[in-house]
Structure 1
């Protein structure tokens, strides 16, 4: 108990160098505010499609079959195409200009969606919106890894990811409010007003980024950082050589590294454990319920508890894995258990759909599945931790590759396993979730072994201190896994 209290005091009372606390407060304010607001509007614009679908868009535009999933696939294809080029562009274009510019583009495309008259038009818009949004998630994780130390990174990654979940959660309440107050206002239905208002919310955040976002420690010209603070920001993170990514040798290094295959594979598997939440399955379940008829406000409001649970889970695990010296792999095993349990609950409920208890079980399963969102922050922080001593663009490309690999699978995964026509039970998807959960715990175990071995080797060769993602009792932990 005394040892735990000592660790807790050490965790809560970080020792800073002169001026470092003030620097961290500044970058927390200016980086996290923009990144979180950006990701909030990003997910607000994404989640509004399902909100609009269950609020009248399906009937107004004559959706049939799995066209909703096909729209999501078009977005994902654009997202995949834009991943690596967008993240590599950060080597040539200052993030202060690049990030906000992409925000303006996707905000305008969101507003244009309000004018469509058929599903095919939304498919085209979402494709280009996916390209514009491609750099937001992994690009931000690259920026966070450039400014924050290992001890600080998990919590900040968690706060960033939680902001996206907040966008998903609040989107349902926004749609409810819009539907009640603006439906048929000036001849526009409530779901069309949703796209207009969500797009308008994005523009001021982009303007804020143009003015205040500080780029990276090596390139920042932020007016609110003193010369001493800029030097301190560079000294806080490992000094690595900047290399141009445009070379055959660079790509050979990437594709032959365990970082690429290990972390890309991790996020391909883990990304699909988010399918319950990411594909809006609870709303589709309610829309196609075998016995109950839910009102529009219920269709929009009840699913908001899923990202709410995700926010709590994300912040909890991000903080806990920081406290446990970066043992991000714990989340992989937790998520695997949740994936199996929630799938089994839905499959069991489908055997007696008319029973009132069946609905209760399914609601509980989807709310519990929201805890799986914790993998976003922790797994990208894990990659940042593991690659902290590699060159910047190597780390940027692996981070982009993680999201790229996951979305390549997402492009067809939702149609095959979670098509709107498969509602309300998505039985094929439930079995796929169980399989991916089992694969995740196996992959997590193998990757944590490679990470620990690499950390030990680096410490022996270069004489570096043990990084935070390796505890001093690592041999004991390895035996207990």
Structure 2
């Protein structure tokens, strides 16, 4: 939690904070290592465009360097992660199903193998990140999954794909929760949601690009002795490798351990002071008392439930429901290219809605994360309830598949909310954000086998009903977290007055 500086002074390594009205953690910090940190001037219209535009020149320069490195690597890394994660769906509807005779629930099993590997690796990876430099751990995992993606192109049976998908999931488990932890270690409250959501849009871009890529490389079928769907894995690997290697040079680790070549010594100290003023705790040992504190708090349970509900409610988008609806259509009958390209409109809606959520949350809603989450849940209920009915006008059928993208853009907000709530304990923040993603994928390991069975395609009645119900639960959970967080803030404020 960010401390309230109103009417107080805070000494941080010789730095004094003047009294400042407004929300906690608003102060703009000059780059000098000592001296008086002035109160932030009244918010200007430029900050509604981008948060750093009304900050000091020194802080703008620092944030430009940080964004250029962290957001570039995070976005490219998440892009290739989703490119290598979603390619199995595009390959499946583009010849792999027929070539390998996958006529039962093999696609579900491939997805489950990936999910099991992902689930096993997440929390251990995030705990390792509090002790090992992210600039070593994360890029190394990316190189590993890139090599495994190349290997998938040579699979000739469902069993070999199961094994490789498990290993790909295990390697990919380091990236998303790891980068969420890194981003949360560098940015302040008024900066965090936009960066988190920009990072998250890369997943939708990767999913879109995989469809376009499959439509293009399908024409390579027969060249080099590879089918069109096999070429998809080769090209994905070629795209992924340079991105993975760039992480060794771009990732700045975390403020207290950074040795990034693009920061000066004073900027490294500046980064630490920013987080101290934000109330973001530094690393501390894992102790029995710390684990007890984490696991007896409401935070880990409610925030994990929030992300699990969001993630699994949105599986109607991540499953190839739209593509299989198009493939099943006979009037008109769509080409392989159209089947891969048309569903990308859903991801385009997800990208736009994600950015709208970020900007409105930081500006119009003054840092509140729950209103966009409620909106996304309502859109999900409307779309998935309509698809569950199934016998609806064709135009509305298409609209539901496409508009459902509005419910897929909430990940960044959920994670930003978790960083803010758990800001007073670094290890709790790492474990909570890792657990949020972990439990979400624990459910993804078995839930699709029950409600998104390939044999039910394209009329996934159970899946659509489940997504609508999970979305309703998401709304309830978000409101509960809002109430619990407000109560905790009130108790802490009361204790500070008593002290």
Aligned with residue 221 of structure 1, among 256, 259, 267 = 259
Question: Which whole-Å deviations, capped at 9, do the CAs of 1:155-189 have from their partners, x for residues lacking one?
Answer: 10111000111000111111111112x11111111
Q: What residue number does 1:95 align with?
A: 134
1:173 aligns with 2:212: yes
Normalised TM-score (structure 1): 0.90
Q: Report deviation, 1:292.
A: 4.2
Q: Are the equivalent residues in 2 in contact too, given 1:107–1:203 (CA < 8 A)? A: yes
Question: Which whole-Å deviations, capped at 9, do the CAs of 1:302-326 have from their partners, x for residues lacking one?
Answer: 1111111100010110111011222
- Over the aligned positions, Cα root-mean-square deviation in angstroms equals 1.8
1:366 aligns with 2:406: no
Q: Report deviation, 1:462.
A: 3.8
Aligned with residue 207 of structure 1, among 242, 245, 251 = 245
Q: Are the equivalent residues in 1 in contact too, given 2:120–2:170 (CA < 8 A)? A: yes
Question: Which whole-Å deviations, capped at 9, do the CAs of 1:88-116 have from their partners, x for residues lacking one?
Answer: 11022110001100000110111100000
Q: What residue number does 1:451 align with?
A: 485
Q: What residue number does 1:383 align with?
A: 418
Matches within 5 A, 1:97-176: 97-176=136-215
Q: Report deviation, 1:65.
A: 1.5
1:339 aligns with 2:377: no
Larger mean CA deviation between 451-460 and 44-53 belongs to 451-460
Q: What residue number does 2:70 align with?
A: 31
Q: What residue number does 2:344 align with?
A: 304
Residues 400, 280 of structure 1: alpha-carbon distance in 2 compared, 3 angstrom cutoff: same
Question: Which whole-Å deviations, capped at 9, do the CAs of 1:208-248 have from their partners, x for residues lacking one?
Answer: 11122111111001111001100111111135242223x33
1:260 aligns with 2:295: no
- Secondary structure in 2 aligned to 1:115? coil
- Moved beyond 6 Å, runs of 4+: none
Query: How many residues in Structure 1 have an aligned counterpart in Structure 2?
Result: 451
Question: Which whole-Å deviations, capped at 9, do the CAs of 1:373-416 have from their partners, x for residues lacking one?
Answer: 2211111111112122x221110000000001111111111111
Q: Are the equivalent residues in 2 in contact too, given 1:264–1:398 (CA < 8 A)? A: yes
Residues 383, 239 of structure 1: alpha-carbon distance in 2 compared, 3 angstrom cutoff: closer
The structure where helix makes up a greater share of residues is 1
Q: Are the equivalent residues in 1 in contact too, given 2:46–2:54 (CA < 8 A)? A: no
> Relative contact order (alpha carbons < 8 A, sep ≥ 6): 1 or 2 greater?
1
- Secondary structure in 2 aligned to 1:315? helix
Aligned with residue 430 of structure 1, among 464, 467, 489 = 464
Q: Report deviation, 1:447.
A: 0.8
Residues 414, 7 of structure 1: alpha-carbon distance in 2 compared, 3 angstrom cutoff: farther
Residues 19, 416 of structure 1: alpha-carbon distance in 2 compared, 3 angstrom cutoff: same
Q: Report deviation, 1:454.
A: 1.7
Normalised TM-score (structure 2): 0.87
Question: Which whole-Å deviations, capped at 9, do the CAs of 1:98-145 have from their partners, x for residues lacking one?
Answer: 110000011011110000011111111011111101121111111111
- Secondary structure in 1 aligned to 2:410? helix
Larger mean CA deviation between 436-445 and 286-295 belongs to 286-295
2:177 & 2:329 partners in 1: Cα distance? 36
Q: Report deviation, 1:8.
A: 4.5
1:140 & 1:379 partners in 2: Cα distance? 14
Q: Are the equivalent residues in 2 in contact too, given 1:155–1:322 (CA < 8 A)? A: yes
Q: Are the equivalent residues in 1 in contact too, given 2:384–2:467 (CA < 8 A)? A: yes
1:462 & 1:395 partners in 2: Cα distance? 23
Aligned with residue 474 of structure 2, among 440, 445, 456 = 440
- Secondary structure in 1 aligned to 2:343? helix
Gap runs ≥5 in structure 1: 464-481
1:280 & 1:423 partners in 2: Cα distance? 9
1:44 & 1:191 partners in 2: Cα distance? 14
Aligned with residue 321 of structure 2, among 278, 281, 291 = 281
Q: What residue number does 1:43 align with?
A: 82
1:194 & 1:321 partners in 2: Cα distance? 37
Q: Report deviation, 1:197.
A: 0.9
1:195 aligns with 2:233: yes
Q: Report deviation, 1:10.
A: 5.4
Q: Are the equivalent residues in 1 in contact too, given 2:316–2:464 (CA < 8 A)? A: no
1:462 & 1:145 partners in 2: Cα distance? 25
Q: Report deviation, 1:6.
A: 7.0
Q: What residue number does 1:478 align with?
A: none
Q: Are the equivalent residues in 2 in contact too, given 1:346–1:361 (CA < 8 A)? A: no
Q: Report deviation, 1:290.
A: 6.2
Larger mean CA deviation between 76-85 and 12-21 belongs to 12-21
- Secondary structure in 2 aligned to 1:165? helix
Q: Are the equivalent residues in 2 in contact too, given 1:41–1:167 (CA < 8 A)? A: yes
Q: Are the equivalent residues in 1 in contact too, given 2:313–2:466 (CA < 8 A)? A: no
